[in-house]
Amino acid sequence: MSYARELKKGQIVQIDRQYYLVRQIETKSPSARGASTLYKIRFSSVPGGQKLEQTCTGDDQFTDVDLQRRTVSFLYKEGDEYTFMDSEDYSQYLVNSSTIEDQLLYLSDGMEGVTALLVEGQLLAIELPTSIALEIVETSPAIKGASAAARTKPAQLSTGLEVQVPEYLSIGEVIKVNTETGKYMSRA
């Protein structure tokens, strides 16, 4: 059993016989003496992605799940199924697109460094690296001498993701994107 005050982002717990992934935790400190700290926790069910929000005190308990973390690489997509391969024993895991819906625009064929969250040998969720490198496939032409200005323009990347990039970047350049915020970081 884990207390609400011990939960961390990315942890999987069991609520009403359903697995939930902790997506976000907000801590609200009390304003009155003797009041307890409140934790506003946002969950999403795995598989499925259904959202759940709960406000708890630090002493509320959640059932732990025996979770395995394995390093995998993304192999290919077939229909609605995405196939990942374990980097150590080469076993393959299938996951439906609805389970990893928020992360689909960051996946590219052959991508390595992905962490699979497994419960009883079943892939329930994935964790992406904090940054990934993607190629710009569509954007307006680069503006000469635009490096001094902090203006941006929209650019479409190889996976279909659209981000704001500096004006001096052009088609074919590879950039780093933060997977948590979805924003441009730097050239790769």
How high is the pLDDT of residue 85?
92
Quick count: other Cβ atoms within 10 Å of Cβ 37? 14
What would the pLDDT profile of 57-78 be if each residue is shown by its tens digit? 878 888 878 878 899 999 988 8
Domain segments of the chain as ranges:
2-64, 67-127, 131-187
What would the pLDDT profile of 27-50 be if each residue is shown by its tens digit? 888 776 767 788 888 887 777 667
Which stretch, 99-103, 114-118, 133-137, has highest mean pLDDT?
A: 133-137
Strands 162-166 and 184-187: unpaired
Domain 2-64: which CATH number of 2.30.30.30, 3.40.640.10, 3.40.30.10, 3.40.50.720: 2.30.30.30
State the Cα–Cα distance between residues 131 and 137, nearest whole angstrom: 19
State the Cα–Cα distance between residues 170 and 2, nearest whole angstrom: 49
Domain 131-187: which CATH class?
mainly beta
Omega of the bond leading into 47 within 30 degrees of 0 (cis): yes
State the Cα–Cα distance between residues 57 and 37, nearest whole angstrom: 6
Q: Do domains 2-64 and 131-187 have the same CATH topology?
A: no
**What separation in angstroms does the CA of 143 have from each of 115, 135, 140, 157?**
39, 19, 9, 19
CATH topology of domain 67-127: OB fold (Dihydrolipoamide Acetyltransferase, E2P) (2.40.50)
How high is the pLDDT of residue 146?
58
